[in-house]
Structure 1
Amino acid sequence: MVDQFGYLPGMKKVAVLRLPKVGFDSNQSYWPQQLQVVDAATGAVVYTAWPQDWNGLKTDESSGDQVWHFDFSQVTAPGTYEIVDPTANQRSARFEIGDNVYRNVLIQAVRMFYYQRAGQEKTVANAGVGWADGASHLKGGQDPQARRFLDPNNAGTARDLRGGWFDAGDPNKYTSWAAAYIQDLLDAYIQNPSVWTDDFNLPESYNGIPDLLDEVKWGTDWLARMQNSDGSVLSIVGLADGSPPSASTGPSYYGDASTTATLAAAAAYAEAAKVFGGLNNTAMKTYAADLLARAKRAWAWAQANPNVLFYNNDATRGTGGLGAGQQETDDAGRAELRLFAAIKLFAATGDATYRSYVDTHYTEAPMFSQWYVSAFNAGNARNLLYYASLPGATADVATAIRTRFLDLWGRSDYGGWGAIDAQTDPYRAYISSYTWGSNGVKANAGTLFTEEGYYGISRHTADQVATAAADYLHYLHGVNPLGKAYLTNMTSFGAENSVNQIFHMWFADGSAKWDDARTSTYGPAPGYLVGGPNYNQWDWDSRCPGISSACGSSRPTPPYGQPPQKSYLDFNAGWPLNSWPISEPSNGYQTAYIRLLARFVK
């Protein structure tokens, strides 16, 4: 198993070989011999070595495999290669070595947000012939005339809420989650400014503004429309499905303002104001000033209204059918959002009021109150580290944050450096459990290592940090038990085994055009990161097999009954097989992946 897109010349390069012992593939038999790295263009053997067994060939519980590692880091010359076992007549996927092997992958990953845009025409020139579509959700009663869900017959509640992004495989737009995506993309820009060029083939390309920031602005434009005149921010817009999205005809409805949505939006407004205000562009500076004013109004409203809640899609509260996922959070979640908003407002303004709030409340964050740093809540650590890096941050607070992070992420019994040093995962990308969205968790784990490198605070060398982070990237690109590059339809961009099907309203099961990259006319658009293996949160409908012939006679295996890392199936079935806990993409997984990938793009 190799990274199917390739490796930078100076990277540590470790291929994984496997003998499955547990799981659907346990009938396979393979025992590696001396291996060769072969130049695919010339057939020349450029490196030969024996693989090394992992953990004495103990069967790994997370994958069900016995594993060997083949380190070919000595191969640094640019080119196209494959790893060959001449004795067994086995070969790896082909891969590139070069300085720019990930650039086109990054472009496709960012373009995913273009395909997710609501209300945006997708032209052939920008989207490609396979995914061209008219602007969606702009018909009568849709986004430009969205009505309040709790008063749907009152035309006086109509609001223009067009724009924004479909959140995942569903088309709904959730304020607090979209605000988080905006901040993640802005962080990716801040930490890697030279990566973001103006040529990603978006409608805004070549306008003198990095295309990543053009995409962010698509999000902040919508977020601004969601704000009320009193500073509060609406919580959600529920949209109707459509394949393609322009085929959607159902009405759009919005949920009431909430403290959660308002705090999340305040943070996004503030960070966008800081970044946009730093551009050498008069119009963007004006736009930034408006966003900063919105951030301050949102903060003021949330301070005066600390517990205004809105639960969507909850029949007990009269909101059943509005959206899908539940965007409302608990008291701890709101406290976290308030802390993040204060951090971003302090960064944008330097106002001591916001710094004082952070200094008073940072110890309530899980990193302090629960001695907890985890890829499952990476945003908490990242935001605190960001505050610690700011000019004017209180020095002893900044020191406490950096020290606590390094102490926790470096513990031998934790899933950070402890798992790296112990080589806990034979696929070199440890997470503690494979739940819903495990690929997003993998990406977030990688970013926690890159944070150390970016801020220059690590207790490890730069090469150790880069290797630890890159191994999570390699996992997502094919160094996993399934040899799957977990991005959609990437054959044209170098992957031999990418994702063919995802649970998404556009690329729906049974669609002649978009269902499957192998058999449909086009398959799903490229570059979507799929949710990934899900060990204990997937099952078919509890009434199967009797409820529908679509159940079949037994649960599909895989994903059922497999070791955690093999609890995945490339499928997109709706009810009753319910593929979405495994195969649905999410903008949140995508931003985590973009943050990680960007650290390795030149």
Structure 2
Amino acid sequence: MADVRREQWNDAAIRVNQIGFSTGLSKAFSSQVVSGNFEVIDADTNECVLVGTTSPASEDEAAGVRVSLGRLDGLDTPGRYRIRMKNGVESPIFAIAERPYQAVKLALLRNFYFQRCGMELEERYAGPWKHAACHLDHGIIHGDDPSIRRRTAGGWHDAGDYGKYIVAAAKAVADLMLAYEAYPAAFQESVNIPESGNGVPDILNETRYELEWMLLLQREDGAVYHKITTYEFPGLHVMPEDDAAALVFSPVSFTAAGTFAASMAMAARVFAPFDEPFAADCREAAERAWQWMENTESFERVSFRNPRDVKTGEYGDQNVIDEHYWAAAELYRLTGDRTYLIKAEKLVQSGGFPLCELGWRDVGGYGTIALLYALRDAGDRTAMELRERLTEQWIMRADELLDLSKRNGFGVSLIQDQYKWGSNMIVMNNGMHLLIAAELMKDSDIRQQYLEAAAQQWHYLLGCNVLGICYITGYGYNSVMHPHHRPSIADSVPQPVPGIVAGGPNLGLNDTAAAALLIGRAPMACYIDHEDSYSTNENTIYWNSPAVYVAAALDCLNR
């Protein structure tokens, strides 16, 4: 079902972050039909508290409109406000507060609980979105003796379907662990999950639920099964506990082993202060996966391909060098063993992959982050030169993103062909990149510009975009209502599960709903809030995870 409110909001002139703005941080809005003078009105007193002028209007090809950007940085008093343009057009009311993003940050994190597989979601934790335990059967191994069955229950459903995939899981847990390490103060509150109150931050409690499932997919020789799914996707109106089709482990893959080794090495480091035995298990699993990778012949290091009778998500990847790099970097950061550093440096020198990407397919950025931190106090020349090279690459990319953000009327850092499947992940990945660049350049004047650009990516996600839609369910005055998410469709609850990040605009129009309803739209407008539009309106764990990172940063920077 599509939401008729979309067209009404498309006529509005002013786009803002619908949750509001934080004191002390960058504040900006976009005007789509007029530029020039504006004033900000206190919504409670009706007094003008700020006057300003937008940038000159310019054509935004990706958005298909003329747009100008206005800044509100002179306004820092908590309250409720609206913007009035010179032609009398007004924005909806928005807030300025000390911690406006606290609730949405927790909702983004809490959404991983709603994705849990293999356990009952009880009403005291899940509210009206409760449901029975699901996918408790053991699964067979594709191509092996069908009488041999392995445990499958646990972890998170990957997306709007019920499959579970290692390469997707690895990105998601990596983002969450990085968020915790960078902003621990942002994760002091309870998320109200079954483990809350056990002395471990809930972001790590939730991450561990996925990690324990990932451990189930490691074979005795160290190899890792690529995924566990049914043979085909279930229907849209099937609740997880009603999905009773046979479960099958797809074959092992090099990319699964690499991302598994890397994320387990991260877990061994992050969980050591809380649970040394679990951390030791993660380290042992990471090292076994690494050894399997090292013993794998080069001709076997190929992209995963679905078996013919398995029709679920493939998560194939033609380039497997970056997974090898990430694993080497994380194992070096964990152990200090220079064997791993030598391997990582050799892979960097090969130039066979991008060093700064943070996707599920291109994971080189995670290896770079690991080395940037591991080599902070490097004493030998070779290690120092490697860190300098990686820092230069990271900052060069951050400058590109900063320039894109400054030149865009909505402050977003996408180029036109990046409005593709999962474009909102790219926006949040870019936000992560800019925030890490700000940390690397914390003693430089450019740090503040990186922070402001990161905030602009967040504003885009929460409503400062051509459609005026907040892409997080349950938040904002015009948020996603009909995600391609089976539990949200199949349950009897009118509201979707909260805290979902929708995939966002996709000029590829890769599903029938998008192809029928979005033809001729500008790239940024190629989104529809329709349950059938899996290519624009589905969720994934690895779209939520970078959003958690960005939300945590912006929630924490004032504290």
The TM-score, its normalising length taken from structure 1, stands at: 0.83
Corresponding residue to 2:350 among 364, 368, 389: 364
Query: Map of 1:97-112 to 2, 5 A cutoff?
Result: 97-112=96-111
Corresponding position of 1:427: 410
Q: 2:394·2:437 contact (CA, 8 Å) conserved in 1?
A: no
Q: Does 1:76 find its partner at 2:76?
A: yes
Corresponding position of 2:9: none
Residue-by-residue CA offset, 1:358-415 (whole Å, 9 max, x unaligned): 122222355xx67x756767742343133022146511111111123323543xxxx4
- C-alpha distance in 1 between matches for 2:515 and 2:253: 41
Corresponding position of 2:392: 403
Residue-by-residue CA offset, 1:477-523 (whole Å, 9 max, x unaligned): 10001111111122xxxx11111111122223xx572xxxxxxx432
- C-alpha distance in 2 between matches for 1:106 and 1:310: 35
Aligned-pair distance for 1:228?
1.7
Corresponding position of 1:444: 429
Query: Map of 1:20-419 to 2, 5 A cutoff?
Result: 31=34, 34-54=37-57, 58-85=58-85, 88=88, 90-129=89-128, 131-138=129-136, 142=137, 145-151=138-144, 154-155=146-147, 157-239=148-230, 241=234, 243-277=238-272, 279=273, 281=274, 284-306=275-297, 307=300, 311-315=304-308, 319-321=309-311, 324-330=312-318, 332=319, 334-365=320-351, 379-391=363-375, 393=378, 394-410=383-399, 415-419=400-404
Indicate the SS of the match to 1:532.
coil
Indicate the SS of the match to 1:498.
coil
- C-alpha distance in 2 between matches for 1:443 and 1:14: 18
Q: 1:452·1:458 contact (CA, 8 Å) conserved in 2?
A: no
Q: 1:175·1:264 contact (CA, 8 Å) conserved in 2?
A: yes
* Structure 2 residue runs without a partner (length 5+): 1-14
- Going from structure 1 to structure 2, the CA distance change for 1:253 and 1:374 (only over 3 Å counts) comes to closer
- C-alpha distance in 2 between matches for 1:382 and 1:338: 11
- C-alpha distance in 2 between matches for 1:65 and 1:489: 28
- C-alpha distance in 1 between matches for 2:392 and 2:53: 41
Q: 1:257·1:310 contact (CA, 8 Å) conserved in 2?
A: no
- Going from structure 1 to structure 2, the CA distance change for 1:496 and 1:337 (only over 3 Å counts) comes to same
- C-alpha distance in 2 between matches for 1:343 and 1:512: 43
- The AA in structure 2 aligned to 1:261 is A
The TM-score, its normalising length taken from structure 2, stands at: 0.89
Residue-by-residue CA offset, 1:56-107 (whole Å, 9 max, x unaligned): xx3221111112322221110112222234853x332322212210010000
Aligned-pair distance for 1:460?
4.6
Q: Does 1:532 find its partner at 2:527?
A: no
- C-alpha distance in 1 between matches for 2:183 and 2:251: 37
Q: 2:327·2:367 contact (CA, 8 Å) conserved in 1?
A: no
Indicate the SS of the match to 1:216.
helix
Aligned-pair distance for 1:329?
2.2
- C-alpha distance in 1 between matches for 2:458 and 2:291: 40
- C-alpha distance in 1 between matches for 2:469 and 2:208: 33
Corresponding position of 2:4: none
- C-alpha distance in 2 between matches for 1:80 and 1:504: 33
Indicate the SS of the match to 2:196.
coil
Aligned-pair identity (%): 26
- The AA in structure 2 aligned to 1:118 is C
Q: 1:312·1:320 contact (CA, 8 Å) conserved in 2?
A: no
Q: Does 1:2 find its partner at 2:16?
A: yes
Q: 2:333·2:370 contact (CA, 8 Å) conserved in 1?
A: no
Indicate the SS of the match to 1:506.
helix
Residue-by-residue CA offset, 1:96-133 (whole Å, 9 max, x unaligned): 2122100100000011111111112111111112x011
- C-alpha distance in 2 between matches for 1:466 and 1:408: 15
- The AA in structure 1 aligned to 2:287 is K
| Larger RCO, structure (CA 8 Å, separation 6 or more) | 2
- The AA in structure 2 aligned to 1:121 is E
- The AA in structure 1 aligned to 2:139 is A
- C-alpha distance in 2 between matches for 1:328 and 1:570: 28
Corresponding residue to 2:530 among 571, 575, 581: 571
Q: 1:137·1:249 contact (CA, 8 Å) conserved in 2?
A: yes
Corresponding position of 1:16: 30
- C-alpha distance in 2 between matches for 1:590 and 1:200: 15
Aligned-pair distance for 1:169?
1.2
- The AA in structure 1 aligned to 2:470 is A
- Going from structure 1 to structure 2, the CA distance change for 1:458 and 1:597 (only over 3 Å counts) comes to farther
